[in-house]
Amino acid sequence: MQLRVEKLNKSFGAKHVLRDLSFTAQSGVAMGLLGRNGSGKTTTIRTIMGIFPADSGRSTIDGAATQTLRKRIGYLPEERGLYPKRIIGEQMAYIGTLRGLSSKVAKERAKKLLVRLEAEEYYNQKLDTLSKGNQQKIQLAIALITNPDIIILDEPFSGLDPVNSQILKRVVEELVADGKLVLFSSHEMGYVEEFCDDICIIDKGQSVLAGRIREIKARYPRHQIFVTPEGPDAEELRRQLMQLDTVVRLTTGIEVQGRGCLLTLQNEADKGALFSALIEGRVAMDAIGVVEPSLEDIFVEKVGREKAPEENGGDVA
Amino acid sequence: MRNFFNVLKFEYTGMVRGKGFLITVALFMSLLLVVASLPMILGFFNRGGDEEIYYDATGEQAVGVFYDTTGWYTPEIIASFSPHFDWTPIDRPDAIERGLETGDFAIGLRLAADGITVYIPGSDWMGAGNFMFYEMARAMAQAQALEQAGVDAAVIETALATDPTMDVVVVGRDGGQSYFVAMAFTILLMLMVSMYGAIVSHSVSTEKTSKAIELLTISTSSNSLIFGKVIGVGLVALTQFGIALIPGVLVMYFNLERWHEFAPMVGGIMEMIFASNILGMAFLFFLLAFFTYAFLFAALSSTVSRAEDLSSSQSIPTVLLMAAYFVSFSALFAPDAFHAQVLSYVPFFSPLVMMARATMTEVPVLEIALSAGVSLLYVLLLGFLSAKIFRIGIMLTGNRPNLRQIFKLMRQA
């Protein structure tokens, strides 16, 4: 199954929010839609869900318009909310029946999902008695109640404590393992990097970077090596490294950084020679590895140079 | 269609399970049952007694005082003209006002050769007895004149004691009874429409402010959501009033005879309601009025994104409802007036005005059907319009939009 977004454009009055936005997402892969606040992530998702129409362009699932397949999509909106004074089990079953389930099946699924999310004790409680994080778990359970093939989660980690974040992370991993197509928006790079295979970075409504994270990272130079010392003294490690002629010859700099040393190679191809030199020189080290740019580094590089739209006085629905 | 019933069921069960619903129903039902059973309750407490159980409308306790400047009147003469009052003569005119102020007596009378002066307390602001005193003074003056002309006092007494009988035969619908029925139905209808319209309004705005609207609109059509919600609330209204009213009405229906004895006017009104098709017609126009205003309430509250703006969104339907109420009130007095006839077919006015007219006078069935048909048509139009506005409500954030912005978004959606 493939979700394809092609040249989406959307304006609100004079504000052009999406500009020829395109990306694709596949089943069995989690895709992160990244962007700063007001970059157009939620507008993209709402357009895919048909909450409002695109001015031009289209979004399809295996060729069919997503707006016609809404009941096959599990959706966690950014603006979360249900009925504060109603029993949680009742409202979960209600949404389930609206999305095509029978009342009996909807209730059964609601109970199972709450167990899976470690929230089964809330089934007979009113929503407004729960904390924000637990209300979010209920919303996630509702998004999954029809066992959809496609799941779209808008900022799913916002407002979750670390324990609940881990529960959500586990659920998303299970969904991906089950072959579901998972698309979620976030500006929390740590979570995205942890379990997303694909990303699409949006800036001012445009896709500025899209593809496999692994491949994106591979495009960046891999000429820096980080060495972690056996003991606590990174300065001692640096002194050791400076005494090795081969190491000094192959690098342009050796700096202490945090708990270890960062070595910058003159030539990326000399990685193997450097590793051999470190081993032969019996350097007291615990770990050695090529330094890759983090997703945050990539994100900041792509979108961090200019002011975000809302910082210019803008506002995006 | 399936989702329409899902929404309806959710709205209906949510409300009828609420404590507010149960308390209101229990309270109203008990109150109406007590009122409907009044003749039996009072009869029970009066078992075995020969005295009448009814309130003595002649006012035995009434105390009067009079001051006579003519020297002709005696307490006996006064009492013979007004046997229901216990008249006491006084010799100082200022004692009348003082006595009224202290509450020593209820009415004062100053009798002079050129006429009478009636003193009543300020609390009797309607001056209900003034006409009766005028008639009494006229009879006394005539008797005095006849006596001065030499007519025998016994002849005068016999002549004045003649008590003619008068029967009133009402041809067609009794206007007096109809007036009370129409007024009661109009007030009840207005109260119910504004009360349950506000519930619809609150329900819609809760979905908007609690952000549930986004999840709902991707789960089903806005038509299902709005029609299910409004009809669900309508059913709640019928359930609530059905449970509260039916037991009391049944008690009255099976005890009509006792009501005729106990309070002839109420008995007559109840008989008129039971014997005619007024109840069916009131039910029809309640439904039409409720749906007209409920869809308007729903449409306007869809444009609200903050709970504090909800009351301002309710002002338009409330003002319209009040206007319709006042027009229907005027139609009670002039059911065939031009404005009443025209407004019987105008949206937002027709259910109330036509119901008032049809209760007061014999409106042809065709006219009633036409008015109901027109109402039904714009109920449907309002319903679909309301669903469309609800659908775009998700895009309406911040300040309340004006009509132009709403229509622009509706075209885009």
Q: How far apart are CA B412 and CA B211, in angstroms?
A: 21
Q: How far apart are CA B107 and CA B201, in angstroms?
A: 54
Tokens 């009025």 correspond to what residue? Answer: B289
CB neighbourhood size of B145 (10 A) = 11
- End-to-end Cα distance, chain A: 29
| Beta strands A150-154 and A73-76, pairing class | parallel
Alpha helices in B63-127 (DSSP H): 75-81, 94-102
Identify the pLDDT of residue A251: 92
Nearest to B117, CA basis, from B109, B129, B105: B109
Per-residue pLDDT of A128-162, as tens digits, reads: 898 888 888 899 999 999 999 999 998 888 878 88
Q: How far apart are CA A21 and CA A3, in angstroms?
A: 13
- The answer to whether the Cβ–Cβ distance between B394 and A99 falls below 8 Å is no
The two three-digit tokens of residue A87, written as one number: 């029993």
CA angle A259, A261, A265 (to 5 degrees): 155
CA distance B395 to chain A (A): 7
Q: What are phi and psi of A145, to 5 degrees?
A: -65, -30
- Longest Cα–Cα distance of chain A, Å, equals 75
**Of A317 and B82, more confident:** B82
Interface residue of B7, B210, B215 to substitute, partner A, most A CBs within 10 Å: B215
* Chain A residue with minimum CA distance to B394: A51
- 3-class SS shares of chain B: helix, strand, coil, % to 5: 70, 5, 25
Tokens 């002309």 correspond to what residue? Answer: B149
Handedness of CA A93, A98, A99, A103 (dihedral sign): positive
8-state DSSP, B395: G
Per-residue pLDDT of chain B (413 residues; tens, 9 = 90+): 788 999 999 989 988 888 888 898 899 999 999 988 888 888 777 665 444 333 333 445 467 788 888 877 877 777 777 777 788 888 888 888 888 888 888 888 888 877 788 888 777 666 666 777 787 788 777 887 888 888 877 787 777 667 677 777 766 666 677 788 888 888 888 888 898 998 898 888 888 877 788 888 888 888 999 999 999 999 999 998 889 888 888 888 888 888 888 888 788 888 777 777 778 888 898 899 999 999 999 888 888 777 777 777 788 889 999 999 999 888 888 888 899 999 999 989 999 999 888 888 888 889 999 999 999 999 999 999 988 888 877 666 656 666 677 666 666 66
Per-residue pLDDT of A256-296, as tens digits, reads: 988 899 999 998 888 889 999 989 888 888 999 888 888 88
- For residue A310, what pLDDT band results from cuts at 50, 70 and 90? very low
Interface residue of A56, A66, A91, A94 to substitute, partner B, most B CBs within 10 Å: A94
**Residues in contact with A161: Cβ distance below 8 Å, sequence separation at least 6, in sequence order:** A133
Point out the residue among A51, A71, A81 whose CB comes nearest to the CB of B217. A51
Point out the residue among B6, B14, B214 whose CB comes nearest to the CB of A77. B214
- The answer to whether the Cβ–Cβ distance between A98 and B14 falls below 8 Å is no
Q: How far apart are CA B251 and CA B31, in angstroms?
A: 13
Q: Are B280 and B358 contacting, i.e. CB atoms less than 8 angstroms apart?
A: no
- Residues of chain A neighbouring B399 (CB-CB closer than 8 A): none
B165 CB within 8 Å of a chain A CB: no
Point out the residue among A51, A71, A73 whose CB comes nearest to the CB of B214. A51
B212-219 vs A88-98: helix axis angle to the nearest 10?
Answer: 30
Query: What are the residues facing A116 on neighbouring strands?
Result: none
Identify the pLDDT of residue B124: 67
CA distance A80 to chain B (A): 6
How far CA A239 is from CA of A232, A254, A269, A271, A317, in Å, comes to: 14, 10, 24, 20, 56
Q: Are B299 and B223 contacting, i.e. CB atoms less than 8 angstroms apart?
A: no
Chain B, residues 210-249, CB within 8 A of chain A, namely 210-212, 214-220
The two three-digit tokens of residue B181, written as one number: 């029925």
Identify the pLDDT of residue B400: 65
CA distance B407 to chain A (A): 14
Query: What are the residues facing A183 on neighbouring strands?
Result: A31, A152
Q: How far apart are CA B8 and CA B234, in angstroms?
A: 10
- With residue A3 as reference, give the H or E element that holds it: strand A2-12
8-state DSSP, B81: H
Inform me whether the pLDDT recorded for A223 exceeds 90: no
Q: Are A15 and A178 contacting, i.e. CB atoms less than 8 angstroms apart?
A: no
Q: What is the 3-state secondary structure (H, E, C) of A290-302?
A: ECCCCHHHHHHHH
Identify the pLDDT of residue A182: 92
CA angle B258, B263, B265 (to 5 degrees): 120
3-state secondary structure of B88: strand
- With residue A144 as reference, give the H or E element that holds it: none
- For residue A312, what pLDDT band results from cuts at 50, 70 and 90? very low
Whole-model pTM?
0.74
- Residues of chain B neighbouring A66 (CB-CB closer than 8 A): none
Q: Are B353 and B328 contacting, i.e. CB atoms less than 8 angstroms apart?
A: yes
The two three-digit tokens of residue B369, written as one number: 């059907």
Identify the pLDDT of residue B173: 64
- The answer to whether the Cβ–Cβ distance between A51 and B210 falls below 8 Å is no
- The answer to whether the Cβ–Cβ distance between A49 and B14 falls below 8 Å is no
Radius of gyration of chain A (CA): 24
Handedness of CA B220, B226, B227, B230 (dihedral sign): positive
* Chain A residue with minimum CA distance to B10: A94
* Chain A residue with minimum CA distance to B392: A52
Identify the pLDDT of residue A316: 34
Interface residue of A59, A97, A101 to substitute, partner B, most B CBs within 10 Å: A97
- Residues of chain B neighbouring A142 (CB-CB closer than 8 A): 215
- The answer to whether the Cβ–Cβ distance between B10 and A94 falls below 8 Å is yes
- Residues of chain A neighbouring B412 (CB-CB closer than 8 A): 52-53
Q: What are phi and psi of A227, to 5 degrees?
A: -115, 130
Most confident of A228-237, A306-315, B139-148: A228-237
Identify the pLDDT of residue B53: 34
Q: What's the length of chain A?
A: 317
**Residues in contact with B107: Cβ distance below 8 Å, sequence separation at least 6, in sequence order:** B62, B63, B64, B65, B85, B100, B118, B119, B120, B129, B133
- The answer to whether the Cβ–Cβ distance between A50 and B397 falls below 8 Å is no
B23-53 in b/e form (b: 16+ CB < 10 A) is eebeebbeebeeebbbbeeeeeeeeeeeeee
- 3-class SS shares of chain A: helix, strand, coil, % to 5: 40, 30, 30
- With residue B253 as reference, give the H or E element that holds it: helix B222-253
- The answer to whether the Cβ–Cβ distance between B394 and A49 falls below 8 Å is no
CB pairs under 8 A between A and B: 60
Q: How far apart are CA A147 and CA A135, in angstroms?
A: 20
Q: Are B274 and B256 contacting, i.e. CB atoms less than 8 angstroms apart?
A: yes
- Residues of chain B neighbouring A46 (CB-CB closer than 8 A): 214
- The answer to whether the Cβ–Cβ distance between B394 and A51 falls below 8 Å is yes
Inform me whether the pLDDT recorded for A60 exceeds 80: yes
DSSP for B148-211, please give it. Answer: HTT--HHHHHHHHH----------SS-HHHHHHHHHHHHHHHHHHHHHHHHHHHHHHHHHHHTT
Identify the pLDDT of residue B21: 86
- Residues of chain B neighbouring A86 (CB-CB closer than 8 A): 14
- The answer to whether the Cβ–Cβ distance between A142 and B215 falls below 8 Å is yes
**Residues in contact with B267: Cβ distance below 8 Å, sequence separation at least 6, in sequence order:** B256, B257, B259, B260, B261
CA distance B220 to chain A (A): 6
- The answer to whether the Cβ–Cβ distance between B219 and A95 falls below 8 Å is yes
- The answer to whether the Cβ–Cβ distance between A82 and B219 falls below 8 Å is no
- The answer to whether the Cβ–Cβ distance between A83 and B7 falls below 8 Å is no
Nearest to B290, CA basis, from B317, B263, B256, B312: B317
Q: What are phi and psi of A294, to 5 degrees?
A: -75, 165
Helices (H) and strands (E) in chain A, counts: 11, 14
Q: Report the Cα B11 to chain-centroid distance in Å.
A: 30
ipTM of model: 0.77
- Residues of chain A neighbouring B6 (CB-CB closer than 8 A): 94, 97-98
Inform me whether the pLDDT recorded for A311 exceeds 50: no
- For residue A163, what pLDDT band results from cuts at 50, 70 and 90? confident
Identify the pLDDT of residue A302: 83
3-state secondary structure of B301: helix
Identify the pLDDT of residue B50: 45
Point out the residue among B10, B214, B217 whose CB comes nearest to the CB of A79. B214
Identify the pLDDT of residue A166: 86
DSSP for B48-63, please give it. Answer: T--S--S--TT-TT-E
Computed over every residue of chain A, the mean pLDDT equals: 87
Q: Are A201 and A303 contacting, i.e. CB atoms less than 8 angstroms apart?
A: yes
Identify the pLDDT of residue B410: 65
8-state DSSP, A120: G
The two three-digit tokens of residue A156, written as one number: 């799913």
